[in-house]
Amino acid sequence: MPLLEIFDPKAPPRPIGIDLGTTHSLVAYVRGGHPRVIADCDGELLLPSVVAYGPAGVLVGTKAKLQACDSPRDTIVSVKRYMGRGADDPETRRLGPYDFAARGEAQSNVVRFQVQGTTLVTPVEVSAEILRTLKRRAEDELRSVGGAVVTVPAYFDDAQRQATKDAARLAGLDVLRLLNEPTAAALAYGLEKRQNGTFAVYDLGGGTFDITVLVLDQGVFQVKATGGDSALGGDDMDRAIAQEIFEQLGPHTEPALVRRILDDARGIKHALTESEEVEREVLGRAVRITRPRFEALVAPLLGRTGAVCRRVLRDAGVRGADLDGVILVGGATRVPCVRAYVRELFEQEPRSDVDPDQVVALGAAIQADLLAGQGVRDDVLLLDVIPLSLGLEVGGGVVDKILPRNTTIPAAARAQYTTQEDRQTGFEIHVVQGEREMVRDARSLARFTLKGIPPMPAGLAKLEVTFRVDADGLLSVEAREQTTGIAQLVQVKPSYGLDDATVEKMLLEALDHGEEDLVERQLAQNRIEAHRILASTAKALEADRALLHAGEELCIANAMEALTKASKGNEPALMHARMDALDLVSKAFAERRMNRAIALAIEGRRVDEVASEVSS
């Protein structure tokens, strides 16, 4: 380390990268072309993601962690697991011994911790305290801080990403980009090792799990598929050990004792990384846990990561053994049985050449340097993806997917729709997320109405809906009626996010129910089409009954009755056949109506005048 660093007061502010973690958080920057993590005044690189609220103010980090046992209700740990979560989610209250504001007091479904008796704070505000501390740490080192890249789990949904961005802004940070953690890790690893190939990033942190398959090729980092669980990590291992301790000592419900036992459980987990057996005194009694017992306790958790990994490999179209490497990220990957599980799952030895605790922050710093235009490299390109399909509800409760999962971002896609009823003056637009075919099985993101459409016959209004997902993975939706130009733009910002297992459940159910979902989708679509055909046919009969030939009306009526009956059943093929039958018996009638309409349109006009209009 140099004895003296000269500070240039005219130097531009330094961009920084932040890993906002469940257990620990870090801040890094690039110096001399190489990223480095910034330490505090005591030389510590990792900041415990703990915030304590007390009479004297707010404490963050190690000092806050020391108060967790004495003031468990006023000390918020693992706040990342609450980001974007709904207050009425049962999992919310399971995660910690906190007092929460009642729904009525909160005025929304956002989680609010009640600390110091009456003070209410949201996960966004708690996270902002952590980010503010990291910003001060960076300012102590760099004097002036520029924009920041903040990392998020790849499987964070819109609400969780927006909550993270709000926390960063609340902390006074200029957010250059939200970057997926596995992509950040791959960026740091790829530029450090200068390797090309197809890699998997297995990221098991304190509270979240991600798996990403991506291709590194001459500075291009292209994500092929991603998956994960936003409520699975080292914290769950600690809870499994704590449950074992409770079984040995008997149940305890006092929050201070529960917090102390969770801290002891984490210490036992760390000790078992090096030892085959650990014996500790907990609440005055000896507790003994062996490594085989610990591995049995966490086996179900590892099994959950394995199910996600197999799906992502299938989405990417590769086998684990064919990958050029598996990169380990996150503190929980230091656990020996995690590494053994990954080795068996991917049929190769995983890599941890770059410190698993630091690699995400290092990658974020590199990306911040590149985005700020201060990097020495201009040949790096990140191509990330969206984790779940995005679409709209259409007639019959069907999901029309506009942006499928694993679409490279930033991305945009358009779809066109029309009205189903005569004189319809507006469109109800329902934005959903998920892999199933029906809206009831998807996640609702936003609803809005496009009003002011002039009343027109069904099918004449033309609605164009555009989905845009930015580089942060955040969605905006624009709806525009083409004939009038009436438009509305909505930034999709839910007030809370998906619950623990919803994302993975969506994908598994999409696989399990794929065939029956498609049948149900066909039924819904055919019923809508049958309704449209029946309505237009009835309208035509009423308007032009004089054009019918002898016996024709009876044939059409019989075909309409048959279609009406089929539309109430559950056979898409029969419905389709009945629509074809009605079309066949009414075809001659439809042609006579068309001929009459054309004759009326050209009556009394010159041939050259009509020809000129047609050619134009």
Give the distance from CA 391 to its chain's centroid.
Answer: 14
pLDDT, residue 159, reads 75
CATH code (residue 432): 2.60.34.10
pLDDT, residue 106, reads 41
Inter-residue contact 228 to 329 (CB < 8 Å): no
Q: Residue 226 domain-assigned?
A: no
Max mean pLDDT among 80-89, 129-138, 207-216 falls in: 129-138
579 exposure class (CB count in 10 Å sphere: 0-12, 13-18, 19+): buried
Number of helices followed by number of strands (H, E) in the chain: 16, 27
Alpha-carbon Rg for the chain, nearest whole angstrom, is: 30
Per residue in 505-517, pLDDT tens? Answer: 544 555 566 566 6
Max mean pLDDT among 258-267, 332-341, 349-358, 501-510 falls in: 332-341
- The two tokens of residue 61 are 């980090």
Whose structure tokens read 């309208």? 539
Domain boundary among 500, 526, 553: 500
Same-domain pairing of 496 and 394: yes
Inter-residue contact 99 to 73 (CB < 8 Å): yes
The amino acid that residue 320 corresponds to is G
73-87, 309-323, 397-411, 502-516 — which is least confidently predicted?
Answer: 502-516
Residues 6+ apart with CB under 8 A from 580: none
Inter-residue contact 215 to 200 (CB < 8 Å): no
Q: Residue 441 domain-assigned?
A: yes
Cα separation, 229 vs 35, whole angstroms: 29
pLDDT band at 11 (very low <50, low <70, confident <90, very high): low
Inter-residue contact 198 to 262 (CB < 8 Å): no
Q: Residue 605 domain-assigned?
A: yes
Same-domain pairing of 591 and 518: yes
Same-domain pairing of 473 and 396: yes
Same-domain pairing of 394 and 496: yes
Q: Residue 180 domain-assigned?
A: no
Same-domain pairing of 525 and 604: yes
pLDDT, residue 527, reads 81
Closest residue by Cα to residue 151 from 181, 125, 173:
181
48-62, 367-381, 507-521 — which is least confidently predicted?
Answer: 507-521
- The two tokens of residue 561 are 């009755």
pLDDT over 80 (residue 339) = yes
pLDDT band at 497 (very low <50, low <70, confident <90, very high): very low
For the segment 474-483, the average pLDDT, to the nearest whole number, is 81
- The two tokens of residue 368 are 């911040």
pLDDT band at 498 (very low <50, low <70, confident <90, very high): very low
Per residue in 13-43, pLDDT tens? Answer: 889 999 999 999 999 999 888 899 999 888 8
pLDDT, residue 529, reads 80
Which residues are part of the catalytic machinery? Answer: 19, 80, 181, 203
Cα separation, 567 vs 575, whole angstroms: 6
* Residue with more model confidence, 473 or 54: 54
Same-domain pairing of 591 and 562: yes
Per residue, the 3-state secondary structure of 488-542, as one string, reads EEEECCCCCCCCCCHHHHHHHHHHHCHHHHHHHHHHHHHHHHHHHHHHHHHHHHH
570 exposure class (CB count in 10 Å sphere: 0-12, 13-18, 19+): exposed
For the segment 520-549, the average pLDDT, to the nearest whole number, is 82
Same-domain pairing of 447 and 524: no
pLDDT, residue 151, reads 94
Q: Residue 59 domain-assigned?
A: no
Q: Residue 456 domain-assigned?
A: yes
240-249, 393-402, 520-529 — which is least confidently predicted?
Answer: 520-529
How far apart are the two ends of the chain, measured CA to CA in Å?
78
CATH code (residue 571): 1.20.1270.10
Q: Which domain holds residue 535?
A: 511-615
pLDDT, residue 507, reads 47
Max mean pLDDT among 103-107, 182-186, 220-224, 416-420 falls in: 182-186
pLDDT, residue 4, reads 45
Cα separation, 345 vs 309, whole angstroms: 9
Domain boundary among 435, 467, 500: 500
pLDDT over 50 (residue 97) = yes
Collapsing DSSP to helix, strand or coil, 244 comes out as helix
Domain boundary among 500, 532, 554: 500
For residue 473, the 8-state DSSP code is S
Same-domain pairing of 394 and 494: yes
Q: Residue 422 domain-assigned?
A: yes
The amino acid that residue 529 corresponds to is E
Per residue in 225-239, pLDDT tens? Answer: 888 887 788 889 998
Our count of domains for the chain comes to: 2
pLDDT, residue 148, reads 94
Same-domain pairing of 515 and 494: no
Cα separation, 544 vs 590, whole angstroms: 10
Q: Residue 407 domain-assigned?
A: yes
111-120, 367-376, 562-571 — which is least confidently predicted?
Answer: 367-376
Same-domain pairing of 609 and 536: yes
Max mean pLDDT among 213-222, 415-424, 563-572 falls in: 563-572
